[in-house]
A and B are shown apart, each in its own frame.
Chain A
């Protein structure tokens, strides 16, 4: 069954179409959600919730547009909401700027040293964990889903400059984590 056939079947009320869509897309949806929620169970809940919403609203889905971006945008939105409900209060001193995670990602993409690569991955993981869910979502959209800033701005219905602000605005929170002085941010 093709994705289009699955959607057509689902629109006809045949939930077998949904099973096909789940099979095709759950892996990337789970990884996207997990990066934002930092918790497997919450990620699973977020993906399930998203698919349920897809089912409820499938008759309004524009089939001329690809399904995966539509799904993953919804996953991001749901994962943010769920992660924020799960989030424990985090003091400012524990938070990190998305821009610093960006730098770590940039270093990880260029190093040829496997030891350094593994170390950087761990730092990225630690860094992402210290971001707020909304900030994690910005990182995920930009660097995992490969959305442009323009697409991200459209997705969040904000001005393009706001995305830059989201990536950079919390930079002053990163001092204790990175051991940097405040004026460097």
Chain B
């Protein structure tokens, strides 16, 4: 009998070898930011498109001719594509299991002849109120499925959603055998909980039944075979070899899922990637329709080859029925090459030895310079550094004269390992492939059907800050600050050389911000004399006049987001889980203390993932958010009675909330359909929402109110201004006037 699995044995060994509470996030994010700074140079603009472009139009005929063909495949929202050659079996009823305070609900499960997909949700994960737990104690094991004959099926993940106090998952297993109608979902532990102390070995019995005939399975509508409209060409460009076809769609109650592919008729042109900002859908009325790739839906094309790139996009916004045009502006393709050079590693190449090469290879009109090569230490392989233009990446260098054990690399390096040991004599290296960014466009026309109920979805209202209004504001000659707008800002910006977040003090006048040291989440006292902010060691006070700092006794790096009360007598903050472990379940407690850091006490400790957001002007109520599966609850808590009042909900789990100085409105971050970032203002209870910012693909976040309540200051991630940090901007909430503050970057956390 097995008492431990091999996985458990090695897991124990690994965790016993590692220190407690290792969190790579901070250091790693600094490196990532540096990397972004280094590599996110503006991509070379394609100022000249190919002289003549071949546009292959996939022309669907008029809607009446489009035949909806009930194929063997169908689509079920929340499940995905299902194969219907055999009857579908579905979960008879949702299954709810309660263990102490924890609830596990399996709400949906469908098995076809190929896969079983199920969705379950866990609420109130048990937490561990001790700092002695180790990171490796946090459960990360997926459930299994036990069949009636005892066979265990392993899970694959389709999606997961974690919000501190709970999580949901969609999993995929092999299909249930045809004769099986009962199965047991086995959860060795609950993800994010603690394997040793928490709930373990949960078995949830599930019964399946044949799907009723009237179960809603949306058909996949096949469009007629597209006709290629070929423009005679004297010379074909690379783009000419690539065709775009949209040949299927699924129409659900609220959206259309478009399916098709890009294909290349040349074996020398592989298809790598279309970046999301490079694909557009314009409807029959000439309006842009928001579309996004659905990563949970596999492509329907079964034949995979480098020359075929399946596309699955769903509409997220409203659209007009009729002929729409899908356009891909540019894309990454894979190219073959055969350019070689030789170098002599000498008779006794040493591990770690580097040879400077500076060999220039020209492939497809692109110059790639191989800067140097190093013989790996103890690894019988070579690593190369190379330089190239931004429209080339993923360069593959190989020694074709010797068997290799694979290899690979990044945007500026690559390498391989010799299978049979390091060769002797001259080595010939061949550049065999690379990825290239090429201009299109490629277009496909498709008749978008009307919605089944005959209505058209209500379009979103225009926002104050859009991509076009932002661009216009940047180009405006009049960007003077209006009278009466001033005060002191506390913001976070990433500064060299350490590339950590620093707390900065700034004004709107354009004077140079003052660096007040490493930290985040700064809040200035109402009298402007003292700052409180978070550091890795805990909450820290800073005297603005003298610059002196001191830690708040009893706090640690788990204490975040300090907020000074309006009268300056109290400070609220959020406290992370006691264990301090990564990915562990909450709670995130709301804390309060006196303005000198004394009398720290819990304001709310309810196992929820709570975050203090803002004080109400009366100083008696604190606005906070609690993460949930679909976003956050925006709530207030009375600091004297502890009474919690639900104000509204927001559909973004990381939403920041700012309260207007008169306490009547909130400004908040929300997510628009198609994963677009936006900023709204509304009444305190969420009524009368107004869209303030929707500048996709520019991301606008972190609103703060001006002291007079007439303006919002927000962070605008416009990479044409800064490739690294967002630029600040003022937006008047009444007039929609936009004033870009191009000399200020970062995120504002306090405005007095």
Which residues of chain A have a CB within 8 Å of any CB of chain B? 1-5, 7-9, 11-16, 18-19, 22-24, 26-28, 30-32, 34-35, 38, 40, 43-44, 47-48, 51-53, 55-57, 59-60, 63-64, 66, 68, 80-81, 84-85, 87, 105-106, 108-112, 117, 121, 124-125, 128, 133, 139-140, 143-144, 146, 156-158
Contacts and interface: CB of A to CB of B under 8 A. Distances in A.
A114 to B, nearest CB: 9
B65 interface: no
Contact of B32 (A1, A15, A35, A140): A15
Interface string B1-21: 111111111111111011100
Nearest to B435: A60
Contact of B1 (A11, A84, A110, A128): A110
11 contacts: A2-B161, A12-B277, A23-B25, A26-B22, A31-B11, A68-B157, A106-B6, A110-B2, A125-B13, A146-B7, A156-B406
A23 B654 CA distance: 15
B582 interface: yes
B134 to A, nearest CB: 10
Contacts of A117: 3-4
Interface stretch (B52-60, B113-121, B293-301): B293-301
B440 to A, nearest CB: 17
B295 A63 contact: yes
Contact of B276 (A4, A8, A81): A8
Contacts, number: 194
B383 to A, nearest CB: 9
Interface in B554-578: none
B405 A158 contact: yes
Interface in B472-511: none
B159 A2 contact: yes
A91 to B, nearest CB: 15
Contacts of A52: 28, 31-32, 35, 410
Contacts of B8: 109
Given A2-B159, A27-B135, A121-B13, A144 B7 contact: yes
B719 interface: yes
Contacts of A26: 22-25, 582
B159 A55 contact: no
A26 B25 CA distance: 8
Chain B facing A: main interface SS: mixed
A112 B3 contact: yes
A117 B13 CA distance: 12
A123 to B, nearest CB: 11
Interface string B569-610: 000000000000011000000000000000000000000000
A30 B27 CA distance: 14
Q: Which 7 residue pairs are nearest across A and B when measured between Cβ atoms?
A: A31-B14, A84-B378, A63-B295, A85-B377, A143-B6, A56-B410, A144-B10
B96 interface: no
A62 B683 CA distance: 42
Nearest to B671: A5
Contact of B583 (A4, A24, A108): A24
A56 B411 contact: yes
Interface in B157-181: 157, 159-162
A12 B276 contact: yes
Nearest to A133: B378
Output the residue of A55, A133, A157 with the most chain B CB within 10 A: A55
A158 B159 CA distance: 31
A157 B405 contact: yes
B138 interface: yes
Contact of A44 (B14, B24, B140, B299): B24
Contacts of B40: 13
Contact of A40 (B17, B332, B699): B17
B157 A66 contact: yes
Given A2-B159, A12-B697, A157-B406, A27 B138 contact: yes
Contacts of B376: 81, 84-85
Contact of A2 (B15, B32, B160, B293): B160
A40 B32 CA distance: 21
A84 B352 CA distance: 11
A144 B654 contact: no
B653 interface: yes
Nearest to A35: B14
B252 interface: no
A143 B12 CA distance: 13
B35 A121 contact: no
B298 A64 contact: yes
A140 B9 CA distance: 11
Contacts of A60: 272-273, 332, 394, 435
Nearest to B675: A8
B241 to A, nearest CB: 21
Given A15-B33, A110-B1, A34 B18 contact: yes
B197 interface: no
Given A12-B276, A38-B17, 14 more contacts: A8-B675, A14-B699, A24-B583, A27-B138, A31-B18, A40-B17, A51-B28, A56-B410, A84-B377, A84-B379, A117-B3, A124-B10, A124-B13, A125-B13
B433 interface: no
Contacts of B405: 156-158
B717 interface: yes
Contact of B11 (A55, A81, A144): A144
A90 B176 CA distance: 50
Contacts of B36: 13, 15, 55
